[in-house]
Structure 1
Amino acid sequence: MEFYVPDMYKKNINDIDYKKLKQNGIKCLLFDLDNTLVPYSEKVPTKKVKDLFKKLKEQGFKVIIFSNSGKKRLTPFKEQLEVDCCPRAFKPSPKKFISVMKELNYEVSQVAIIGDQFFTDIVGGNKVGIMTILINPISKKDMIFTYIARAREKNLIRKLSKAGLFYKGKYYD
């Protein structure tokens, strides 16, 4: 059951204490795209996301968009945010997590994944042992297959709450 529990839970990407992450040795941030950075219907990054990414890069973080979406979807974000992207990450499979860490020479203790889904972002990160940060989805609109995952997540959250491991809306570092 603990396999599904994120290391950190925040309302959104702007509530994360990035300075604290840096102090704890995190050097690389893997961001999910859809409903983490922007609603899935958005085609380009918002000014708020651009400002955040600029700040994170100035702080010395390696920032990567790590998404199950394809290259075509990620290209405008890669270009406008001036960051690397990992399309078709096939989360929760550990394969792309491991290849990114190996390629960029990062240890598991130096990498964090930030995302809005338990079964992709959190499970994937926990499989490889990196820091996992769950945020609430920024939109209620999802792709059709994500609606199915959200229904499963509700059941998982009930089980985690019963076990005293996770409570929706009770944020922590």
Structure 2
Amino acid sequence: MSKAKLLQPDLILGDTILGLNQDVLDQYRIKGLILDVDETLVPLKKAYVSEELRLWINQIRQKTPIWLVSNNLSESRIGSIANSLELPYLLGAVKPSRRKLKKAIRAMELPIPQVAMVGDRLFTDVLAGNRLGMFTILVKPMVDPAIAVRSYPIHNFEVWISEKLGVSLMSSQHNFTKRNRRPRK
């Protein structure tokens, strides 16, 4: 698989995770979710979840099992977030390593292609999910409004490198070509 294909998300949401809804998951036959934590669910310097995120999780979990898998090593931070959402979690994932993603998928007892890796980073979340054959969803990062005007150099660098490699990062909920699967009509 080419480097560009490894970095190409199956779905670029063009919104934060809060824009991902059950209709989209159903459209792509997604039965389980693995979510990154830092800047996918909460801003990096925040240790609590918003009420809006809590409502989103409660709505999605009615039909779809959810696991949190984070590269973060802080048991107190990731554990606190996971516990407040009542979700199972794995930390220190070292994404793009696939090891902890496999562990979460085994716990869900779902086929790999029916589980989506959702995150805000190309070189960790998308790359790990694609290496495993998962459906990958790139979301806009959750950022603290107080620092949103600052740039995010790592994110910007990943986007720049990816585009140089031929990755298309145009937002599109209907652009899906991986493994010859098509959205339902």
Fold match by TM threshold 0.5: yes
Deviates more, 1:22-31 or 1:112-121: 22-31
- Answer yes or no: is the 8 Å Cα contact 1:119–1:149 preserved in 2: no
Give how far 1:97 is off: 1.2
- What secondary structure sits across from 2:61 in the alignment? helix
Which position in structure 2 is the counterpart of 1:65?
A: 68
SS at match of 1:2: helix
More moved, 98-107 vs 130-139: 98-107
Question: Is this contact kept in 2: 1:65–1:86, CA < 8 A?
Answer: yes
Please say if 1:115 is aligned against 2:119: yes
Unaligned runs of 5+ in 2: 175-185
Deviation at 1:91, TM superposition (A): 0.6
The aligned counterpart of 1:39 is: 43
1:102 equivalent in structure 2: 106
- Which whole-Å CA distance do the structure 1 matches of 2:172 and 2:21 have between them? 12
Note the aligned Cα RMSD (angstroms): 2.1
Structure richer in helix, relative to its length: 1
Aligned to 1:172: 173
Residue 136 (structure 2) pairs with residue 132 (structure 1): yes
Alpha-carbon distance, 1:157 to partner: 3.9
Tell me whether 93-102 or 111-120 shows the greater mean CA deviation.
Answer: 93-102
**Does 2:32 match 1:4?**
no
Alpha-carbon distance between aligned partners in 2 of 1:85 and 1:167, rounded to the nearest angstrom: 29
Give the TM-score, by structure 1 length.
Answer: 0.84
Residue 155 of structure 1 is matched in structure 2 by 160
1:49 to 53, 59, 67: 53
Q: Percent identity?
A: 26
Q: Given the superposition, is the C-alpha separation of residues 171 and 25 from structure 1 closer, same or farther in structure 2, using an over 3 Å criterion?
A: closer
Change (3 A) 1:57 1:167: closer
- Aligned length in residues: 164
SS at match of 1:112: strand
Q: Give the match for residue 183 of structure 2.
A: none
In the aligned structure 1, how far is the partner of 2:83 from the partner of 2:169?
Answer: 37
Q: Secondary structure at the match of 2:163?
A: helix
Q: Distance in 2 between matches of 1:28 and 1:72?
A: 25
Amino acid at match of 1:63: I
Equivalent position amino acid for 1:171 in 2 = S
1:79 Cα deviation from its structure 2 partner: 1.6
The one-letter amino acid of 2:141's match is P
TM-score with structure 2 length normalisation? 0.79
